[in-house]
């Protein structure tokens, strides 16, 4: 095993990088994530902090047992992504803070190159890299435009799928830009977000009004208001399984996603638009969530009918059979 240059080896030495991983019932993939960090020499002194949001799958105990060099902050309840990250930030000592999802795999060299990029570009307050799904597809959420009413409308209607090269229709996920290049963006995703610690302290961390989703957009928006710039570095990438913890409660997480969009608009955009545009924006978000609720219950009803029909024909399903899906993936 490679010897990792962690803060715990020398308490008097401040690391260059502090990594915060918020976990909620993702023990096995959290283990994979930590192994991708601790079994490679990333060429940068770092510390790793896992903030566990009251998991009931033994995640915290696993980290303490298998990764003694990693510091664990165990919350007594699920306080959400923003609040959990803030608790981890209060324990950071690095020049840079990396918000990292537990469902990511960090590739060798990525951390060093990201820190080097940030050091070469002092104007870069926040940096993100390319996120790739296990099947090799790009996770489009890794660089985004702010969800203004028009941008959100095109995103919700899916027009970007028809015209992916359009700067007008593809603004939210920036489908018209080369994912392998480096450039300034509105926002990068909280699954991999490198932030200068002084900037993070000046911003007072993440806005805890956002339970989950939207906090990364909000942080980038506030950083830009202070004059910091946000960069997407497409030459680096990590593997992102995506939605591992939120998929467990996908119906509830869809609620938080749509709520976050309303919160973001009210906080940053409402004063920029007339009342009629704001009303249409909130109505559109509400209608979209209502459609997902309807689909949720229709799936439940279809699953119940299918189960009854199968039971009538062949008896009850064997123990441990596949449950009927009721939520679907979180929409992001």
pLDDT of residue 3: 31
Burial of residue 39, with CB atoms counted within 10 A of its CB: 0-12 exposed, 13-18 middle, 19 or more buried? exposed
pLDDT of residue 325: 37
Q: Which sign does the torsion angle of CA 66, 68, 74, 78 carry?
A: negative
Low-confidence ranges of the chain (pLDDT < 50): 1-10, 246, 248, 320-332
pLDDT of residue 321: 45
Report the b/e string of 114-132 with b at 16+ CB within 10 A: bbebbeeeeebbbbbbbbb
CA dist., res. 326 & res. 289, Å (int) = 15
Neighbouring CB atoms inside 10 A of 296's CB total 17
Please give the backbone phi and psi of residue 302, each rounded to the nearest 5 degrees, phi first: -65, -40
CA dist., res. 211 & res. 216, Å (int) = 11
pLDDT of residue 242: 78
pLDDT of residue 5: 46
Question: What 3 state SS string does 81-134 have?
Answer: HHHHHHHHHCCCCCCEEEEEECCEECCCCHHHHHHHHHHHCCCEEEEEEEEECC
pLDDT of residue 315: 59
- pLDDT tens digits for 231-244? 999 999 999 997 65
Residue ranges of E strands in the chain: 17-23, 46-53, 71-75, 96-101, 104-105, 124-132, 143-144, 182-184, 187-188, 192-196, 229-240
Q: What is the pTM of this model?
A: 0.86
Question: Residue 231: beta bridge partners?
Answer: 127, 184
CA dist., res. 151 & res. 265, Å (int) = 12
Among 212, 277, 230, 190, residue whose Cα is nearest residue 81: 212
Tokens 């608790």 map to which residue? 87
CA dist., res. 172 & res. 288, Å (int) = 17
pLDDT of residue 190: 96
Neighbouring CB atoms inside 10 A of 304's CB total 11
CATH topology classification for 7-244: Spore Coat Polysaccharide Biosynthesis Protein SpsA; Chain A (3.90.550)
Burial of residue 305, with CB atoms counted within 10 A of its CB: 0-12 exposed, 13-18 middle, 19 or more buried? exposed
CA dist., res. 83 & res. 190, Å (int) = 13
DSSP symbol at 273 = S
pLDDT of residue 328: 39
The answer to whether 217 and 290 are in contact (CB under 8 A) is no
């Amino acid at each position: 095993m490679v010897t990792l240059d962690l803060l715990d080896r020398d308490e008097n030495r401040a690391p260059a990088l502090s990594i915060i991983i918020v976990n909620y019932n993702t023990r096995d993939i959290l283990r994979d994530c930590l192994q991708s960090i601790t079994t490679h020499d990333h060429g940068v002194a770092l510390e790793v902090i896992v903030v566990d949001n009251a998991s009931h799958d033994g995640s915290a105990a696993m980290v303490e047992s298998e990764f003694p060099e990693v510091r664990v902050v165990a919350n007594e309840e699920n306080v959400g992504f923003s609040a959990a990250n803030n608790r981890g930030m209060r324990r950071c000592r690095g020049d840079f803070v990396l918000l990292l999802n537990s469902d990511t795999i960090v590739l060798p060299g990525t951390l060093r190159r990201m820190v080097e990029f940030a050091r070469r570009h002092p104007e870069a307050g926040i940096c993100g890299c390319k996120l790739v799904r296990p099947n090799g597809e790009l996770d489009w959420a890794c660089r985004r435009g702010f969800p203004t009413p028009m941008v959100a409308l095109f995103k919700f209607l899916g027009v970007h799928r028809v015209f992916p090269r359009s700067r007008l229709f593809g603004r939210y996920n920036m489908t018209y830009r080369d994912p392998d290049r480096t450039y300034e963006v509105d926002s990068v995703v909280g699954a991999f977000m490198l932030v200068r610690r002084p900037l993070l302290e000046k911003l007072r961390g993440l806005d805890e009004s956002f339970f989950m989703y939207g906090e990364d957009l909000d942080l980038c928006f506030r950083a830009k208001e202070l004059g910091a710039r946000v960069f997407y570095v497409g030459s680096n990438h990590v593997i992102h399984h995506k939605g591992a913890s939120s998929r467990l409660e996908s119906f509830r997480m869809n609620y938080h996603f749509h709520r976050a969009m309303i919160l973001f608009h009210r906080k940053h955009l409402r004063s920029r638009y007339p009342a009629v545009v704001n009303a249409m924006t909130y109505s559109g978000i509400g209608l979209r969530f209502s459609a997902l609720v309807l689909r949720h219950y229709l799936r439940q009803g279809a699953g119940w009918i299918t189960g009854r029909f199968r039971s009538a024909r062949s008896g009850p399903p064997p123990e441990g059979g596949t449950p009927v899906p009721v939520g679907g993936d979180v929409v992001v």
